Structure 1
Amino acid sequence: MMKTILLIVTNIEQYASGHLKTGLWLSELTHIYHAAKEKGWKITIASPKGGNTPIDPESLKPLVLDGISKSYYENPVFMNELAQTKSLDMVKNDSFDCIYLAGGHATMYDFPDNTTLQEILRDQYESNKMVAAICHGVGGLLNVRLSDGEYMIKGKAVTGFDWFEETLARRKNEVPFNLEAALKERNVHYRKAFIPMTSNVVVDGSLITGQNPFSSKEMAKVVVSELEKQAFM
């Protein structure tokens, strides 16, 4: 059965300090994109403002640029899609089987307080349709309130880039907030991998979260599997 998936990416290209570049963490988009493409599903890429999404140069380094991500980075058709994303305003009234927030430190600036994104996610979740987010993209879930005023993630099992991983990434002094602490303030059941920087995906009903870039491959598999289950329900 044909599925529709909305992949949301960032428009931000540097940290507030202005010292370092940031952007989309490439593998956190390419693996879900590739998995959906293989299924023949309809994919839409959007960002808060629309237009170009910059790629974090750290995600292009040899040790983290896996084969799938490299092939898409070298694909002019895909790169053109990233240069011409739709704005959230353009897609807010469209229907999707899954809305997926890709990460990268940049999302900490343009995801959490975006009211259009909050409305899109609230409507998706209250329609019992899938909401997925990976790594720093999970920050986009922080301020989403349901119709009853409660935070969407309150009481939910979730994961996201943890503070020790931020230390390992050498970005503690650059990021605008501590994602792990912010999630815990929402009274979530925070789940992290025993070993930092290893794959961890958490499913709580129609909410799926991945901890870090190394969760990208497993995240794609889980999202596809959960969406396919829905076809038989």
Structure 2
Amino acid sequence: MKKLLQGLLASIVLVSTVNAQPAPKGNVLVLLSSATTLPLKDGKSYASGFYLNEFGVPTDALLKAGYAVTIVTPKGNQPLPDEHSVDPMYFNNNSAEMQRIKTVSETLTAADKVKSIKQVLQEGTQRYAGIFIPGGHAPLIDLPGNAEVGKLLRHFHQDGKPTAAICHGPIALLAAQDQPQAFESNVIAGKSASAKNWIYAGYKMTIFSDAEEQAFEESLKGDKLRYYPAKAMAQAGGKMAFVPAWQPNVVSDRELITGQNPFSDHALAKALIAALDKSVGNSKN
């Protein structure tokens, strides 16, 4: 009987310990592309997706810092990584770390855990402490001309909640203007484009630089992107700030935090968590 009671007590203590896990500090919305085929000039295309480290490193850091994350795509489908990003070079040549982040990413992006933008908007954005947009070329496909993306971003902008994006992720910010599709179409066509009532006009920011994009295009064996994102952001009214190619660079202005390239992942994660901690702390005071 004594052993039975001891066993029951141990079970109660174990259950109590599990139930005593602290609640998340907040929930961060992570916006990824629904698409995996990037249109190029002359009707050609390139297999794409999110960059593994750009998504996995900051989201892993968020989880370790006590935040929950919710994955959202335009269609609510499962996002996929760009196979070119599953490379140890983006993890300081540490294959074990790459595999760990890959496992974390696969768990977070399981099909049954992904919401659509429409669903998030219907449920309300008040429950989210901030939003994070990873890169890879996939965001160029279905985010900058998407009015729902613009509506989503406006909620975080109006509430002054941390809004972070890395590499090509910042291109999604162009959706938060009056006519994002028209702007994108003019940029693709090489015409003069004016962003109307863009909420980030005049913000300091960064994105994958022209020099880095040119280096990427060299791998396409003569094929070309429809437009360079850095030029589009400047044309819209962003105050662009760059460092030499492939060097970490994070630019913060008001609620906006942007990272230039894949190697800015750790620095962006640190800046985002600091901004979230400050924002969440202020909301509780």
> Partner of 1:180 in structure 2?
230
> Partner of 1:208 in structure 2?
257
> By how many angstroms is 1:61 displaced?
2.2
More helix by share: 2
| Identity, % of aligned positions | 26
> By how many angstroms is 1:80 displaced?
4.2
What is the TM-score of this pair, normalised by structure 1? Answer: 0.90
Given that 1:122 and 1:145 are in contact with CA atoms closer than 8 Å, whether structure 2 keeps it comes out as no
Equivalent position SS for 2:230: helix
- Asked whether 1:86 is paired with 2:115, we answer yes
Which residues in structure 2 correspond to 1:62-211 (within 5 Å)?
Answer: 62-66=88-92, 67=94, 68-75=97-104, 78-84=105-111, 85-92=114-121, 93-95=124-126, 96-145=128-177, 150-170=197-217, 173-193=223-243, 195-211=244-260
Cα RMSD, aligned residues only = 2.0
Given that 1:109 and 1:176 are in contact with CA atoms closer than 8 Å, whether structure 2 keeps it comes out as no
Structure 2 residue identity aligned to 1:113: G
Greater displacement, 62-71 / 200-209: 62-71
> Following the alignment from structure 1 to structure 2, what is the Cα–Cα distance between the partners of residues 7 and 185?
26
> By how many angstroms is 1:166 displaced?
0.6
- Asked whether 1:32 is paired with 2:58, we answer yes
> Partner of 1:22 in structure 2?
48
Given that 2:205 and 2:241 are in contact with CA atoms closer than 8 Å, whether structure 1 keeps it comes out as yes
Equivalent position SS for 1:169: helix
Given that 2:38 and 2:140 are in contact with CA atoms closer than 8 Å, whether structure 1 keeps it comes out as no
> Following the alignment from structure 1 to structure 2, what is the Cα–Cα distance between the partners of residues 89 and 157?
29
> Following the alignment from structure 1 to structure 2, what is the Cα–Cα distance between the partners of residues 22 and 108?
10
What is the TM-score of this pair, normalised by structure 2? Answer: 0.74
> By how many angstroms is 1:58 displaced?
1.1
Aligned residues: 228
Given that 1:51 and 1:83 are in contact with CA atoms closer than 8 Å, whether structure 2 keeps it comes out as no
Given that 2:53 and 2:262 are in contact with CA atoms closer than 8 Å, whether structure 1 keeps it comes out as yes
- Asked whether 1:58 is paired with 2:84, we answer yes
Structure 2 residue identity aligned to 1:55: P
Equivalent position SS for 1:215: helix
Alpha carbons of structure 1 residues 232 and 53: separation in structure 2 relative to 1, 3 Å:
closer
Given that 1:105 and 1:175 are in contact with CA atoms closer than 8 Å, whether structure 2 keeps it comes out as no
> Partner of 2:33 in structure 1?
10
Alpha carbons of structure 1 residues 145 and 15: separation in structure 2 relative to 1, 3 Å:
closer
Given that 1:22 and 1:104 are in contact with CA atoms closer than 8 Å, whether structure 2 keeps it comes out as yes
> By how many angstroms is 1:135 displaced?
0.9
Structure 2 residue identity aligned to 1:161: F
Equivalent position SS for 1:184: helix
Given that 1:3 and 1:42 are in contact with CA atoms closer than 8 Å, whether structure 2 keeps it comes out as yes
Cα deviation 1:153-177 (Å, max 9, x = unaligned): 2111000001110111225944332
> By how many angstroms is 1:99 displaced?
0.6
* Unmatched runs of 5 consecutive residues or more in structure 2: 1-23, 179-195
Question: Greater Rg, structure 1 or structure 2?
Answer: 2
Equivalent position SS for 1:15: strand
Structure 1 residue identity aligned to 2:167: C
Structure 1 residue identity aligned to 2:47: K
> Following the alignment from structure 2 to structure 1, what is the Cα–Cα distance between the partners of residues 139 and 60?
21
Structure 2 residue identity aligned to 1:160: I
Equivalent position SS for 1:20: strand
Cα deviation 1:42-84 (Å, max 9, x = unaligned): 2101111112212111101232245544213135xx4143241
> Following the alignment from structure 1 to structure 2, what is the Cα–Cα distance between the partners of residues 180 and 37?
30
Equivalent position SS for 1:74: helix
